[in-house]
Amino acid sequence: MGVVWAIIGLVLIIIMLWDAFETVVFPRRVTRRLRLARLFYRYTWLSYSWVVSKTLPARRQEAFLSYFGPLSLLALIGIWAAGLVTGYAFLFRAVSLLHDPLGAPEFVRTLYFSGTTFFTLGMGDVTPSSTAARILAVFEVGMGFAFLALIIGYLPSLNQSFSHREVSISLLDARAGSPPTAAEMLRRHAGGYGMEALRQLLHEWELWSAELLESHLSYPVLAYFRSQHDNQSWLAALTAILDTCALSIAGTKGACLHQAKRTFAVSRHAAVDLAIIFDAPPRTPEQDRLPDAAFKKLRSLLAQAGLNMHGGPDAGRRLADLRAMYEPYVNSLARLMHLAVPPFMMPDGRKDNWQTSPWDTISSGTGVKGAPIHF
């Protein structure tokens, strides 16, 4: 039986170490479906989001969904630690040479000794009484220190990636509205040096999309970390950028067109790869986000701002072809993550986040007083 216990312990330790390595250290995307972290996040998120959606009113769901990211990370770390402790307990059970003056059951004794050794508590009430057990205890202490160092290095990296992502999303507020929309992004960059500013903005979001792709493929848990405001998210920002690029490619000319093509390519790549990582096959939206009537209104809105889309009916067809390249993936991610996909344009009178506060009770939907102010 000692050999069986040893095999079980070694297999459990290897599984935990390999999963932690792939999740924390390994910088490339892991496509294997049978992974502890992958299965953990998939089924815990589906269960957690289902419970929240069924038991809480809509206005409170976003707040509770935002707890999942940090809590799931702590739970996953706890699972790794518990698996390593249990694996070493099986190894100590195989050695079967621990001195316990209280005479606890053998597996309880080995599990207790493994836990105090892994977390370097050094209680001393249960001690190894053979050379093999002492050597094994030294290995576990070393692994406990290494595990702690790994986690200490892991958490700041996650926080830095999350903060960098959110800074850009917050900057998008005054440039594209809350939530960000393609119509507002184009309208607010009309006239003067607007097109050059838009070209620079799309260049910055080309880099943002590449960083989103790299960081969220390496650390998929970041996708579950939600933004500060209910009407903002990494998916809404990515969709607004794709919408803006699609409109620019379908109906504009000039230097901004070339940058829009580059940004569209990287952003679409990010949407597709993230859908693959989260096993979210493309799903066509149930409702058209930009029907013909809305498209005509959008063109009229842009024309009033001095942006005339060229191409006539062909522009609408080109835009539909571009949307078909990313909307099914964005829609699938939105359903999975319980995030809203922003429209192409917002209703009149919608104010931005920077124009609001909890104490604004004078008016609703138009700013503190009067119409919204846009820069």
Return the domain boundaries, the chain.
2-153, 172-355
Identify the three-state secondary structure at position 315: helix
Walking along the chain (375 residues) 10 residues at a time, the average pLDDT comes out as 83 91 75 81 93 91 92 92 92 69 68 86 74 85 88 84 91 88 88 81 95 90 90 93 93 77 95 93 90 87 80 81 95 94 82 76 46 55
How far CA 119 is from CA of 85, 140, 150, 364, in Å, comes to: 9, 9, 14, 55
Burial (CB count <10 Å: 0-12, 13-18, 19+), residue 113:
buried
Region for residue 124 given its phi and psi (left: phi exceeds 0; alpha: psi -120 to 50; beta: otherwise): left
Burial (CB count <10 Å: 0-12, 13-18, 19+), residue 319:
buried
Residue 70 neighbours by CB distance under 10 Å: 13
Q: Minimal CA–CA distance to 178: which of 7, 347, 359?
A: 347
Partners of 99 in beta bridges? 127
The pLDDT assigned to 365 comes to 45
The two counts, helices (H) then strands (E), for the chain are: 13, 2
The pLDDT assigned to 303 comes to 83
The pLDDT assigned to 106 comes to 74
**From CA 242, how far away is CA 326, in angstroms rounded?**
8
Residue pair 224/69 in contact by the 8 Å Cβ criterion: yes
The pLDDT assigned to 93 comes to 80
Residue pair 108/264 in contact by the 8 Å Cβ criterion: no
Q: Minimal CA–CA distance to 236: which of 338, 160, 92, 325?
A: 338
| Domain made up of 2-153: CATH architecture | Orthogonal Bundle (1.10)
Residue pair 37/75 in contact by the 8 Å Cβ criterion: no
